[in-house]
Chains A and B, each alone.
Chain A
Amino acid sequence: MTTGHEPLALRPTPESPLYRQTLDLDRAEGAIINQLKATHLEQFPDPVIEVPAEFRRSIFVGSIDALLNWGRKSSVFPLMMGLACCSFEMIAAAMSRFDLSRFGMEVFRASPRQADLMIVSGTVTWKMAPVVRRLYDQMAEPRWVISQGVCATSGGPYYESYSVVPGVNKIIPVDVYVPGCPPRPDALIYGIMQLHEKIKRYSLAGRAAGRE
């Protein structure tokens, strides 16, 4: 055991403690990835909105819902997460020309605790998959996911690749899919507007958003 006072070797050699520690971490991470790859074979069903029949005609719940959903849809804060080239279209959508702030979404949140929307912008590799899953788990409900581009949706040109997740919905449930390679900012904004339409239809009496 080290006391913490020995100078660590700058270059880790197979005998140095730093090498063993990092390799142990790598092996633990690799075991998680292999386990994830072996178990996540089926895609998650897309979140559906179910309203029990006895609540459908309730005007009171409906008006509260409308207020709540209006508030939710008008302040969807995306998570500041870019995976590949699609993220540049996402960045362009946030800049002045396309201007996501028109939809109350200008605040890209660096912390998943404060974010409502995860825009999976680009190729999800199996090495990145546990991180995406953890970020999704850290987001507070209600939470939504947009799959941007064909790589995130189905693997796209990397379909059946050795290192790419064939669709991010194998890892997390996805609300809106935006096709394109990469989708232009217009397409991403259209996808976000579709998500707004979806959020409007959520109900207090129905299922919570994004729950599996």
Chain B
Amino acid sequence: MTTELGGAQVASMIEAIAPGSVTAHDRGAAWIKPGSWPAVARGLHDRPEADFRFLNAVTGVDYIDHFEVIYHLTSLTHNHMWVVKIRCGEGREEPSVPSAVPVWRGADLQEREVYDLMGIRFDGHPNLKRVMLWEGFPGHPHRKDFLR
């Protein structure tokens, strides 16, 4: 059974990688500033006590007043998992986060899917273009613009 790490434990682990990067944490997830995400991702992947070599999933969430990108991480050697959430600034205009493709190659297609359906830009992504829909499709269909 894969264990979930404690919130305070991982928050302190991330703080050791990049001080001042965690804005909040709860029992299963930590919220991270977008600017420190590349350093945190590299540290979570490389550090032996974290060893998150496996990226389960990348998703995006539309909270009407802001967007969030969520990375599910698993360590296959320690058999534990963790969730990292990145708030893409305030408002709905031009949301963007740094890409995790340099760290986890498997993020490539999933970040493209989030970009395609939610319109969140991933800075530094090597091939950021639509993957499900076709070029020329108007808008991003999974945005909750109809609720505004």
Spell out A's residues near B (CB within 8 Å). Answer: 11-13, 19, 22-23, 26-27, 29-31, 33-34, 126-127, 162-163
Q: Mark B60-98, 1 if CB is under 8 A from A, else 0.
A: 000000000000000000000000000000000000000
Residues of A within 8 A of B129 (CB): 22-23, 26
- Check B134 against A126 for contact (C-beta < 8 Å): yes
Q: Mark B128-144, 1 if CB is under 8 A from A, else 0.
A: 01101111110001000
Greatest chain A CB density within 10 A among B126, B132, B133, B136 is at B136
B12 close to chain A: CB less than 8 A: no
B56 close to chain A: CB less than 8 A: no
Which 5 pairs show the lowest CB-CB distances between chains A and B?
A30-B135, A30-B136, A30-B134, A11-B126, A26-B135
A123 to chain B, nearest CB (A): 13
- Check B126 against A13 for contact (C-beta < 8 Å): yes
Given contacts A162-B141, A163-B141, contact A23 B126 (CB under 8 A): no
CA–CA, A23 and B129, complex, Å: 8
B127 close to chain A: CB less than 8 A: yes
Total interface residues on B, CB under 8 Å, equals 11
Spell out B's residues near A (CB within 8 Å). Answer: 126-127, 129-130, 132-137, 141
A194 to chain B, nearest CB (A): 35
CA–CA, A13 and B124, complex, Å: 9
- Check A33 against B127 for contact (C-beta < 8 Å): no
- Check A26 against B127 for contact (C-beta < 8 Å): no
Residues of B within 8 A of A27 (CB): 135-136
B13 to chain A, nearest CB (A): 30
- Check A34 against B136 for contact (C-beta < 8 Å): yes
Q: Give the residue of A11, A30, A126, A162 whose beta carbon is less than 8 angstroms from that of B127.
A: A11
Given contacts A162-B141, A163-B141, contact A12 B134 (CB under 8 A): no
Q: Give the residue of B126, B136, B141 whose beta carbon is less than 8 angstroms from that of A33.
A: B136
CA–CA, A162 and B132, complex, Å: 12
